[in-house]
Amino acid sequence: MKNLVAGIDVGERSTFCALVDEFGKIYATEKFSTNDYKSFNSFMDKVKTSVESLSRNLDEPHTLCAAGIGIPNGNYYTGEIENAPNLIWKGKLPFSQKLSSLLGMPVVVANDANAAAIGEMMYGGARGMKDFVLITIGTGLGSGIVVNGNVVNGYDGFAGEFGHICAQVNGRQCACGKKGCLECYASTSGIKKTFLELSKNNKVENALKDKKPEDITLSDISKAAKKGDSIAKQTFTETGNILGIALANLISIVSPEAIFINGSVARLGDQLLAPTKKALEANLMRLWKGKVKLLLSSIDSENAPLLGAAALAIKEMQKRSVVIERRRLV
Amino acid sequence: MKNLVAGIDVGERSTFCALVDEFGKIYATEKFSTNDYKSFNSFMDKVKTSVESLSRNLDEPHTLCAAGIGIPNGNYYTGEIENAPNLIWKGKLPFSQKLSSLLGMPVVVANDANAAAIGEMMYGGARGMKDFVLITIGTGLGSGIVVNGNVVNGYDGFAGEFGHICAQVNGRQCACGKKGCLECYASTSGIKKTFLELSKNNKVENALKDKKPEDITLSDISKAAKKGDSIAKQTFTETGNILGIALANLISIVSPEAIFINGSVARLGDQLLAPTKKALEANLMRLWKGKVKLLLSSIDSENAPLLGAAALAIKEMQKRSVVIERRRLV
């Protein structure tokens, strides 16, 4: 009989539940709107029902062992989410405790970016690596830092806020309250802002001059750059420059074997990777030049959060079984 | 009978050997000039002789269990030092293997800043902490980052080069080959450079105007600031600003419980700490504001490298005895 876990990816808009095995195979999945559930309790009931019905309706004989929840601001130590700016339920929300009592199994919670890093380690390009970083770039910039095989949670469980390091002193206003955070530059909206600023400051006509600024998408800028538009090309050079310097700093601190990029912005591929690599190499100490891999994640960015949540549950079960084994030996 | 370890601090000029117990008590110590030994082998023979004579001449009955070496560019994984810019012996130097065969006991090697962090955890203010950072500021800036009770060595053993993150894009030329590294600003020579630059750019007369630039010391600038000299005061504000922003970035990445400062520059005390704290707090995300302690190390900066090297040996012995215990259980 197969052992499966439930992976639960709670996003601002949508929540995904899935049953997953240790090889990353997804057996069943359900999606529902996060905000349809006006209270935290009704949302938790929905998650329970979803997981249980996915399990009941699965033909494959299996045992459901644990659940993992990946969620912005999720705290691995406490299993809680405290005042998440993007969720409609306020205060301290005991996700892990509540769902564990509803499902009758262990439930682990983590920040979505940290969960994605565990997913990369279990199912993606970081298999076999013990020291690496996963950067998820989309509407924001999240990071999961893995040191010696474990995600760095830090003292309070909130480590890995690499999107909020200062990339530009007195730079753009960030939603977090600070100025010049990396995610104000390296994110969909950040890249768009750079393009609009460069367009404004340059007399050269750009390929998107007939579009309203609010209608311009990352894909538009990407296409324009491919066609040779100088402003669009410069946009990616500047983004890569800021991101590359920040990553070089990160390497100086944790010295990873590789840095993986995932998230919707990763789909830009070499358009982002090439200028980032250039700036990264130019800003590395000699001992790291040409040595640290900068790679696209091998996990599809749509499935990454879900597989990350599942991997979180599997890693926790592995940890606990080691503890049980040790206890048996005593 | 007491268990003791040998702590060996290899510096560019001087090498210190000491016998230390698990409480940080130093029983005997010897200092000699590093460069008196023209070959690596003759230096290793001297270290062996020093440790053995310290042990032989000690009245206290004891067992010497292991040795720890703290040394710039020391690699914990390989036990080697490769092309250390400050040592006269070139190439790959197998410190750990060589000394272990000479002394007939386990020998562990680490970067001096990483060793100092282990010392802080075993003997200093970080006792009981599992997530903290120790920054050593003197002629350079070194760091030891501790995550979940262990020093972060990274993939290659060279993690913790926080002195070489980019603090100023296209800033001062660093000895490492890069520009704008943090240690070009937050170090004795960096602070002096800031003072000289500010003096040059300001019409205001400063308290040290009658001294030759090359004769001005950190202590002169410190005294001038205490007397109210505006350029000297601004020097510490600017240094604190650069260091504070860098530390806020480090907190976003590893979220430590505390940051300790050691090294000769730490003797400035509040003159450095106050402006650093101010910039640090101004650049932290809300969730960390007022929460991360910025403290002076409680270990005297002269003994810190030696005690760090000893702590390294003790921690390694503890790790090995856990492994032995586990093997016994199987």
Mean residue pLDDT of chain A comes to: 93
Q: Is B290 exposed, middle or buried (0-12, 13-18, 19+ CB in 10 A)?
A: exposed
- Check residue A201 and give its pLDDT: 83
Mean pLDDT of B39-46: 96
**Model pLDDT for residues A113-161, shown as the tens digit of each residue:** 999 999 999 999 999 999 999 999 999 999 999 999 999 999 999 999 9
Q: Provide the residue type at B232 as one letter.
A: A
Distance of alpha carbon B202 from alpha carbon A251, whole angstroms: 37
Residue of B nearest to A291 (CA): B156
Across the interface, of A130, A158, A248, the residue whose CB is closest to B255 is A158
Give the C-alpha distances (Å, rounded to integers) separating A235 from A262, A273, B39, B81.
20, 13, 54, 42
Whether A164 and chain B come into contact, CB under 8 Å, resolves to yes
Under 8 Å between Cβ of A135 and A105: no
* A contact test, residue of B151, B181, B254, B293 with most A CBs within 10 A: B254
Strands (E), chain B: 2-10, 14-20, 26-33, 62-70, 81-82, 92-93, 107-110, 132-137, 141-147, 150-151, 258-262, 293-296
Under 8 Å between Cβ of A49 and A14: no
Question: How would residue B323 be classed by pLDDT, with cut points 50, 70 and 90?
Answer: low
> Quick check: A326 pLDDT over 80?
no
| Chain B residue numbers touching A254 (CB-CB < 8 A) | 145, 152, 154, 159, 253-254
Question: How would residue B179 be classed by pLDDT, with cut points 50, 70 and 90?
Answer: very high
**Model pLDDT for residues A51-103, shown as the tens digit of each residue:** 999 999 999 999 999 999 999 889 999 999 987 777 889 889 999 999 999 99
Mode of pairing for the β-strands spanning A62-70 and B258-262: unpaired
- Check residue A280 and give its pLDDT: 97
Across the interface, of A155, A169, A250, the residue whose CB is closest to B255 is A155
Mode of pairing for the β-strands spanning A62-70 and A81-82: unpaired
Q: Provide the residue type at A93 as one letter.
A: L
Whether A23 and chain B come into contact, CB under 8 Å, resolves to no
Distance of alpha carbon A169 from alpha carbon B212, whole angstroms: 34
Buried b (16+ CB within 10 A) or exposed e, B119-142: bbbbbbbbeebebbbbbbbbebbb
Whether A161 and chain B come into contact, CB under 8 Å, resolves to yes
**Model pLDDT for residues A159-201, shown as the tens digit of each residue:** 999 999 999 999 999 999 999 999 999 999 999 999 999 998 8
- Check residue A108 and give its pLDDT: 96
CB atoms within 10 A of CB B55: 17
CA distance B106 to chain A (A): 23
What percent of chain B has pLDDT above 70?
Answer: 97
Cross-strand bridge partners of residue B259: B133, B294
> Quick check: B38 pLDDT over 80?
yes
Contact B254 A148 (CB under 8 A): no
How many beta-carbon pairs below 8 A join chains A and B?
Answer: 134
Handedness of CA A277, A282, A287, A290 (dihedral sign): positive
- Check residue A322 and give its pLDDT: 61
Contact A164 B245 (CB under 8 A): no
- Check residue B302 and give its pLDDT: 86
Distance of alpha carbon A107 from alpha carbon A182, whole angstroms: 32
Mean pLDDT of B31-35: 95
* A contact test, residue of B75, B76, B249 with most A CBs within 10 A: B249
Contact A245 B286 (CB under 8 A): no
Which residues are within 8 A (CB) of A252 and not within 5 positions of it... i.e. 6 or more apart? A284, A285, A288, B161, B162, B164, B165
CA neighbor of B306 nearest in space, from B35, B47, B115, B82: B115
- Check residue A324 and give its pLDDT: 56
CA distance A154 to chain B (A): 5
Interface of A with B in 253-282 (CB under 8 A): 253-257
- Check residue B322 and give its pLDDT: 61
Across the interface, of B148, B250, B255, the residue whose CB is closest to A253 is B250
| Chain A residue numbers touching B159 (CB-CB < 8 A) | 131, 253-255
Which ipTM was obtained for this model?
0.93
Distance of alpha carbon B306 from alpha carbon B5, whole angstroms: 11
CB atoms within 10 A of CB B84: 16
Whether A144 and chain B come into contact, CB under 8 Å, resolves to no
Coil, strand or helix at A140: coil
Which residues are within 8 A (CB) of A59 and not within 5 positions of it... i.e. 6 or more apart? none
Across the interface, of B153, B176, B252, the residue whose CB is closest to A285 is B176
Cross-strand bridge partners of residue B110: B70
CA distance A288 to chain B (A): 9
Q: Which two tokens stand for residue A79?
A: 């299993």
> Which phi and psi (to 5°) does residue B92 adopt?
-90, 120
- Check residue B208 and give its pLDDT: 78
CA neighbor of B164 nearest in space, from B193, B137, B136, B141: B141
| Chain A residue numbers touching B287 (CB-CB < 8 A) | 156, 158
DSSP state of B74: B
CB atoms within 10 A of CB A295: 17
> Quick check: B330 pLDDT over 60?
no
Interface of A with B in 66-125 (CB under 8 A): none
- Check residue B319 and give its pLDDT: 82
Which residues are within 8 A (CB) of B254 and not within 5 positions of it... i.e. 6 or more apart? A145, A152, A154, A159, A253, A254, B131, B133, B145, B147, B152
**Model pLDDT for residues A12-30, shown as the tens digit of each residue:** 899 999 999 999 999 999 9
Question: How would residue B269 be classed by pLDDT, with cut points 50, 70 and 90?
Answer: very high
Distance of alpha carbon B6 from alpha carbon A293, whole angstroms: 39
Coil, strand or helix at B83: coil
- Check residue A271 and give its pLDDT: 96
> Which phi and psi (to 5°) does residue A249 adopt?
-65, -40
Mean pLDDT of B181-200: 95
Question: How would residue A211 be classed by pLDDT, with cut points 50, 70 and 90?
Answer: confident
CA distance A298 to chain B (A): 20
CA neighbor of A286 nearest in space, from B122, B101, B234, B174: B174
| Chain A residue numbers touching B169 (CB-CB < 8 A) | 245
Coil, strand or helix at B8: strand
> Quick check: A207 pLDDT over 80?
no
| Dihedral angle of Cα B112, B117, B119, B123, to the nearest 10 degrees | 160
Distance of alpha carbon A91 from alpha carbon A80, whole angstroms: 10
Across the interface, of B157, B256, B283, the residue whose CB is closest to A154 is B256
**Model pLDDT for residues B52-69, shown as the tens digit of each residue:** 999 999 999 999 999 999
Q: Provide the residue type at B138 as one letter.
A: G
CA distance B172 to chain A (A): 14
Under 8 Å between Cβ of B165 and B176: no
Question: How would residue A325 be classed by pLDDT, with cut points 50, 70 and 90?
Answer: low
Distance of alpha carbon A193 from alpha carbon A198, whole angstroms: 8
Distance of alpha carbon A189 from alpha carbon A193, whole angstroms: 6
Under 8 Å between Cβ of A40 and A57: no
CB atoms within 10 A of CB B168: 14
Contact B256 A161 (CB under 8 A): no
- Check residue B172 and give its pLDDT: 97
> Quick check: B129 pLDDT over 80?
yes
> Quick check: B33 pLDDT over 80?
yes
Coil, strand or helix at B146: strand
